[in-house]
Chain A
Amino acid sequence: MIERWQARVRAMSLLAGLALLALALLGLQYGASTYVQRVAVDIGIMIILTVSLNLSNGYTGVFSLGHTGFMALGAYGSALLTMTPQVKALNLPDLPAWLAHVHLGFLPALVLVGLAAAAVALAVGYPILRLTGPYVAVATLGFLVIVHIVIINAQAYTRGARTFLGLAPLTNLWWVYGAVVVTIYTAWRIVNSPIGRAMLAVREDPVAARGAGVDILRARLWSFAVSAFFTAVAGALWAHFILAFSASSFWFAVTFEVIVMLIVGGLGSISGSVAATVALSILSEVLRNAERGVTLFGYHTPALYGLSQIVFALVFIAFIVYRPQGLFGDREFSLWPILARWYPPLREAVMAGRQLAE
């Protein structure tokens, strides 16, 4: 009885959620200014980055500081796949022939860079995910530094430290939020699957998990690879949205921003990641506007560059010190208790189920 109820409510709320999202996107598409649309796209990309980082950092206890490297791979890789041969000849004249003539649609490009990033994650992760605690964080940071150096030096593919140009503006609200839905759904399925349980066990107590027969390295590699896949997709979406970027776009500022959202939302909570990302992205947007200087009651404040990052750093330190579990801890936001409160038959069903369980 209770399972049937739960399954029905879950399916219905999923459908309702998707319908609401579609309505919101239609509203944004036809009723909002370009500025608001751009902010919405930005938030969607940040959600993908945070949720996928959570999959690796929140669920396995492997704290990666190197995910921005996968984002860079997604950005540069997808750009090389979607740009027309003419544009490539203009901007990247030294590209090898096989790549110069490739011209793919957006979807295959997204999937390909995602798979490439997952393959890199497996290759890099196989040695370094054996390490623990701060050592793995330092090793993944080393990975990011190496990616950065490769981007700056592989000039034929990346234009080195110069700005990379020539992308078509393929990213829109629908692509981004389609990817958001796929990311969240995949993360949710993984977390609630046997491999997800194994990942959680590894996070809570690696020794006990090993004792219970969990292959720790395999669980970590899985989450690292899936997480790298979606991080690269987010990078590709971002690249086809921002259209001009350089090696320094994929460095510590964005790494830090995603980590702040992850910690504030709560390691191990997908809904926490989403909520924190939306709230902090809006805060960041307001602060960035303030950085350029604002006029308040006839008084014009000077430009305050660095302000948004300072506020982010303060919020971050405050959370680490006073609420290290973040907003949601490792719990998920659930409609279940709210529904049960307002709909008596459901409440009775829950009570009956509980009694049965006891």
Chain B
Amino acid sequence: MTLAELWVQQLLNAVSIGSMYALLAIGLAMVFGILRLINFAHGDLLMVGAYVLIYAVAAGIPFWVAFLLSVAAAALLGVLMERLAYRPVRGQHEVVLLLTSFGVTMLLENSAILAFSPRTRPFPLPEALSGVYHVGHVVMSGIDLAALASALVLLVGLNLVVTRTKLGVSMRAAAEDLTAAHLVGIHLDRVVLAAFAIGSALAGVAGLLWAAKSGRVEPLMGFTPVLKAFVATVIGGLGSIGGAVLGGYLLGLAEVALQAVLPPGLTGYRDGFVFILLILVLLVRPHGLLGKAEGDRV
């Protein structure tokens, strides 16, 4: 393998994993931007989506239909979550909101343990995605390609929605200044509903990619990815959609770089370095790369 090929390979790995982080982080950023809610339970959307897919495929539904069903289920769950748990505490202190989402996470994960049993299940990867492609010495799996393609399509689509539609403009206005948005006649409930539906659907897609890549589905599978997505949103600036995407890809790059740079004895600590990075960013630039400066520091 030549040096150039090595670089291309590493870059591909970074972009593939970064795409998942970006898709997950968008939902977190959208919701935080409008409601100041850090939604822990975002990771459980991906778990529920993956189980819906497993059951749908087991019931004989074709994979691509099951895929759509699973994304729809994630979006529906996100909307339900907002309606049942987050709306009653809307506008309260950020820590109260964060704790509420902690409660929702525990509820969903343990309900999943009760309903689906805690054991790990294999992900039913379709034939079309299980291939491995070689270009020179660069190796690429069907899942990597799917991650790249879906991230590209969804990000372009999201960009159109956010910049060109009335809904998107309302969402950005609400994130900018809630009171002013309300004054000019924006329906907050509608905007929040849209943010949860869109963000959760993207999380559903990211969840299927994540499950396909790891090959396993289990009740607690959402935790690690959602923590990583947090780091991504913090790097990009909590509440900024563009920042979340940027943060997702930067995090992907950082992980691949750490994996390459760390001596073999320390690679197990890779995620530890990722979280040290989180704390450093919080300290040096708490509003992230693209977020707006706010809040008080001691």
Interface residues, chain A, with chain B CB atoms under 8 Å away: 63, 65, 127-135, 137-139, 141-143, 145-146, 149-150, 152-153, 206-207, 216-217, 220, 252, 256, 259, 263, 304-307, 309-310, 312-314, 316-317, 320-321, 324
Contact = CB atoms under 8 A, between A and B. Distances in A.
Contacts of A304: 114
Interface of B: 36, 38, 85, 88-89, 92-100, 102-104, 106-107, 109-114, 117-118, 223, 227, 230, 234, 268-269, 271-272, 275-276, 278-279, 282-283, 286, 295-298
Contact of B103 (A142, A153, A305, A316): A316
14 contacts: A65-B102, A127-B279, A127-B283, A133-B93, A138-B38, A143-B279, A149-B269, A153-B272, A216-B298, A217-B298, A220-B298, A306-B114, A309-B106, A310-B114
Given A207-B296, A313-B106, A150 B272 contact: yes
Given A149-B271, A307-B114, A130 B103 contact: no
A207 B297 CA distance: 10
A133 B37 CA distance: 11
Nearest to B95: A63
A131 B276 contact: no
Contacts of B112: 306
A357 B268 CA distance: 64
A321 B89 contact: yes
Contact of B282 (A131, A216, A217): A131
Given A63-B99, A135-B282, 18 more contacts: A130-B283, A131-B298, A132-B296, A133-B93, A134-B94, A137-B98, A138-B278, A141-B227, A142-B275, A143-B275, A146-B275, A149-B272, A206-B296, A306-B110, A310-B110, A310-B111, A313-B106, A316-B99
Contacts of A150: 269, 272
B275 A129 contact: no
A321 B89 CA distance: 6
Contacts of B111: 306, 310
Interface centre among B103, B230, B268 (most CB of A within 10 A): B103
Nearest to A311: B110
B245 to A, nearest CB: 19
Contacts of A314: 107
A-B interface, 3 closest residue pairs, ranked by CB to CB distance from nearest: A306-B113, A306-B110, A313-B107
Main secondary structure of the interface of B (DSSP, over half): helix
Main secondary structure of the interface of A (DSSP, over half): helix
Contacts of A153: 268-269, 272
Nearest to A142: B275
Contacts of B106: 252, 256, 309-310, 312-313, 316
A220 B38 CA distance: 23
B38 A132 contact: no
A129 B282 CA distance: 11
Contacts of A259: 99, 102
A317 B102 CA distance: 9
B176 to A, nearest CB: 19
Nearest to B295: A132
A5 to B, nearest CB: 40
Contacts of A321: 85, 88-89, 100
A231 B148 CA distance: 45
A52 B297 CA distance: 25
Given A135-B286, A149-B269, A314-B107, A128 B100 contact: no
